[in-house]
Amino acid sequence: MRTSLRLGLVVMAAVLGGSEIASAQVPKIKLGYAKCAHCLPMSLVPGLARNVEVEATGFNSGNDVLTALVSKSIDVAQVTYLHYITALDKGFDVVAVSGQINGGSECLSSAKLSLLPEDWATFKTTVAKAKSDGQPLKVAASRGNAQDIHMRGAFLKQGVDPNKDIQFINIPNPSDHLAALQRGEVDMICSVEPFASQIRLAGAGKHFVLPYEQAAGNLTNLIVTRSDVIAGQRAGVQGVVSAVVELDNKLIADRAPWIEVINKLTGLDKNVATEALKNASPDPAIHRSQTLAIAAMMRDLKYISKDVAAEAEKNMDYSFLEQATGKSKNDLGY
Amino acid sequence: MTSVTDVSPARPAFRLTRALQGLERLIVPVLLIAGWEAFARSGMLPPALLPAPSAVLHALGDWVFGFDETTQTYSGHWLRDALASALRVFGGFALASLLGILAGVAIGWSRLFEKTLEPTLQMLRPIPPVSWIPLAIIWFGIADKPAIFLVFLGAFFPVLMNSIHGVKTVDHNLVRAGAMMGANSRQMLTDIVLPAALPSIFAGLRIAVGSAWMLTVTAEMVAVKSGLGYVLWDSYYFLRYDIVLAAMISIGLLGYLSDLGLKAIMARTLRWQQTTTVQGRAG
């Protein structure tokens, strides 16, 4: 009896000791993501990550995530391409290691504009008339976010200068967009999902255009880390990138878990979540040329102070994506 | 031996004492700034993440005077931003002062108002002003009106609470004396209770003006185009921590100046109080 007890204790000690050693060897990564429809699937990454322990934290905004990353509170962050460019402009050490999900921008017009979807000709006439009447059309967005850049690029491509032909209204919090459009305070909103779907479903605005026909395309989310994390925890970063790639593949095949996670983490109606995801494309690639176009647009708009094209290109590390997907960087957006 | 009241302002010893007292006030800020500068320059954190005081001062200088456009679109616009914030702050503060004093005096003076009005106001008091943003937009739209409303909310309750307290704690001997002299209710309120409650009301106003400035950052999240709070949020979006800190300093400075102004008004209004307080006797 005593022998078997001793044997049991030895086995237990070996198992516990072994598991401690094993857990000590598993890299630990702190991952941050923002709470938006496109970002929330990142909360599923810990469940998909292999050979890495991922602690995922939701932040209120992309700025908070980026600040946490550059101040070394987290190791890997989901931000937007604009955050990436902004961080490089300020000289922060950020390295893009994967894409995540693109899309999510939509321009919605107020009922009084009576605009048909994609009817740029009528829009341009309305803009010109409002300008000549001395009351330029009021177009709102959250300054400096992906929707702002998409809208500005699409408008410029159609010959409408957002700085001269319209009155740009900055509404920083997208959750305020619905009320502003409903009250007639603005004529058009370029918003982000799921707020755009909410606006549409509430009848406060009508779909006008998905503003993706411009140099920046539909780029939205990017996974970034720091070079010291890559040097110290390469396996951990690889684990996160592989999990993001797996997550994207799952979301392409079945959006139900995505709708579930939006519903669970935001309390948003599943109909809104379903609508929002029609304007979303899981995409782990890092799109180099569009990123450089975003950097150029941000510089033109004085959102950044210098040309960061060289840094933006240099700080794209495709090696993690190449390993996770088995594809070459030329097939991954380079 | 010379007592405090014997010291004449004209005497050199008095001037030296005042100068030393002035220097005492500077010791902590100077030490803090020197420590901050040294830490920022040590390289432990990237300069963009923790700008040194000199960098913040540079950003503030460019924001005010526009000498090298390092603050980009804000360069030279500080006065416009400060004025925009000040108008919102004083708009909301004036409204809060008026309604807060009226409601506070009414609740403190009348049982009827106390029973009918106070429970509702006390229930609204703990709700954080930031949570009113959606309703503020629905009720007032975008731009200045919701911002003024949020500032009003932040300033209203300190004025209200101190006004109630001031009225309720008026010395009963004063009220009794008034009654013995044949004062009617209106005279009792305007000639005895209100003046006696003024120190407490002014204390509430001083707290309120600080809250009003604090609320500018929250209030200017809502679709305004200028203001110190707006610049702070916008700069944060573009990681311009130097401008964020410059905006914080600006708000602190203007809040301090507002308080000084209020203290000057209080000193004039409550001249009679100076002879009855410890500070009054010392000064």
Concatenate the DSSP letters of all residues of B106-149 into one string. HHHH-HHHHHHTHHHHHHHTTS-GGGGHHHHHHHH-STHHHHHH
Which one of A35-39, B86-90, B223-227 scores highest in mean pLDDT? Answer: B86-90
Residue A6: per-residue pLDDT: 62
Query: B220: nearest CA in chain A?
Result: A172
Q: What is the mean pLDDT of residues B58-64?
A: 96
Contact present, B218 and B148 (Cβ < 8 Å): no
> From the CA of A298, how many Å to the nearest CA of chain B?
11
The answer to whether B134 contacts A179, with C-beta atoms less than 8 Å apart, is: yes
Contact present, A220 and A102 (Cβ < 8 Å): yes
Residue A2: per-residue pLDDT: 54
Confidence band, pLDDT 50/70/90 cuts, at residue B139: confident
Q: Which fold has domain B72-270?
A: MetI-like fold (1.10.3720)
Domain boundaries, chain B: 72-270
B263 pLDDT more than 80: yes
Torsions phi, psi for A291 (to 5 deg): -65, -40
Per CB distance under 8 Å, which residues of B are interface residues toward A?
45-49, 70, 72-73, 133-134, 137-138, 141-143, 221-223, 225, 233-234, 236-240
Residue B8: per-residue pLDDT: 52
Q: Classify B187 in phi/psi space as left (phi over 0), alpha (psi -120 to 50) or beta.
A: alpha
**Could you give the 3-state DSSP secondary structure of residue A2?**
helix
- Location of structure tokens 């004039």: B268
The identity of residue B273, as a single letter, is Q
Provide Rg for chain A, Cα atoms: 23
ipTM for this model: 0.71
Residue A9: per-residue pLDDT: 56
Query: B45: nearest CA in chain A?
Result: A71
Chain B residues touching A204 at Cβ < 8 A: none
Residue B69: per-residue pLDDT: 86
The answer to whether A180 contacts B137, with C-beta atoms less than 8 Å apart, is: yes
Cβ neighbours of residue B223 under 8 Å, at least 6 residues apart? Answer: A140, A169, A170, A171, A172, A176, A180, A185, B137, B142, B143
> From the CA of B253, how many Å to the nearest CA of chain A?
26
Chain A residues touching B227 at Cβ < 8 A: none
The answer to whether A63 contacts B133, with C-beta atoms less than 8 Å apart, is: no
Q: Classify A101 in phi/psi space as left (phi over 0), alpha (psi -120 to 50) or beta.
A: beta
Q: Which among A172, A175, A183 has CB closest to B141?
A: A183
Chain A residues touching B72 at Cβ < 8 A: 302, 305
Residue B10: per-residue pLDDT: 56
Six token digits for residue B19:
């100068």
**Could you give the 3-state DSSP secondary structure of residue A136?**
coil
Confidence band, pLDDT 50/70/90 cuts, at residue B7: very low
> From the CA of B227, how many Å to the nearest CA of chain A?
13
Q: Which among B72, B134, B223 has CB closest to A170?
A: B223
Of A217, A191, A209, the closest CA to residue A294 belongs to: A217
The Cα B5–Cα B219 span in angstroms is: 47
B100 pLDDT more than 80: yes
Q: A147 touching B, CB under 8 A?
A: no
Q: A139 touching B, CB under 8 A?
A: no
B280 pLDDT more than 70: no
Residue A176: per-residue pLDDT: 87
Chain A interface mutation, best of B73, B135, B137, highest count of A Cβ atoms under 10 Å: B137
In order, the DSSP letters of B223-281 are S-S-SHHHHHHHHHHTT-HHHHHHHHHHHHHHHHHHHHHHHHHHHHHTHHHHTTSHHHH
The answer to whether B239 contacts A170, with C-beta atoms less than 8 Å apart, is: no
From residue A172, give the alpha-carbon distance in Å to each of A189, A241, A259, B123, B196: 12, 30, 25, 30, 46
B277 pLDDT more than 80: no
Q: Count how many pairs of residues, chain A against chain B, have C-beta atoms within 8 Å.
A: 79
Six token digits for residue A59:
């932040």
Contacts 24+ apart (CB under 8 A), B117-124: B118/B164, B121/B157, B121/B160
- Per 3-state DSSP, chain B is made up of helix, strand and coil in percentages (nearest 5) of 80, 0, 20
Strand order in the sheet with A76-80: A53-59, A28-34, A76-80, A221-225, A95-103, A280-283
Contact present, A154 and A212 (Cβ < 8 Å): yes
B43 pLDDT more than 50: yes
Q: Where are the beta strands (DSSP E) in chain A?
A: 28-34, 53-59, 76-80, 95-103, 105-109, 138-141, 167-170, 188-192, 206-209, 221-225, 280-283
Chain B residues touching A172 at Cβ < 8 A: 221-223, 233-234, 237
B141 pLDDT more than 70: yes
> From the CA of B244, how many Å to the nearest CA of chain A?
13
Q: Please, what are the averages of pLDDT over each run of 10 residues along chain A (334 residues)? A: 56 52 74 88 92 90 89 94 94 95 94 92 95 94 90 93 93 87 92 90 93 92 96 95 94 88 80 89 94 92 90 96 94 93
The answer to whether A173 contacts B221, with C-beta atoms less than 8 Å apart, is: yes
Residue B4: per-residue pLDDT: 45
The Cα A271–Cα A201 span in angstroms is: 9
The answer to whether B142 contacts A185, with C-beta atoms less than 8 Å apart, is: yes
Q: A64 touching B, CB under 8 A?
A: no
Confidence band, pLDDT 50/70/90 cuts, at residue B1: very low
Query: B222: nearest CA in chain A?
Result: A171
Of B280, B126, B124, the closest CA to residue B199 belongs to: B280
Residue B5: per-residue pLDDT: 46
Q: How many CB atoms lie within 10 A of CB A44?
A: 20
What's the pLDDT tens digit per position in A231-287?
A: 999 999 999 999 999 999 998 888 888 888 888 877 778 888 898 889 999 999 999
Of A122, A146, A65, A105, the closest CA to residue B236 belongs to: A65
Strand partners of residue A221: A80
The answer to whether A176 contacts B133, with C-beta atoms less than 8 Å apart, is: yes
The answer to whether A305 contacts B72, with C-beta atoms less than 8 Å apart, is: yes
Chain B interface mutation, best of A86, A163, A170, A301, highest count of B Cβ atoms under 10 Å: A170
Rounding to the nearest 10 degrees, give the CA dihedral for residues A54, A55, A60, A66: -60
> From the CA of B236, how many Å to the nearest CA of chain A?
7
Q: A304 touching B, CB under 8 A?
A: yes
Prediction pTM value: 0.80
Residue B122: per-residue pLDDT: 93
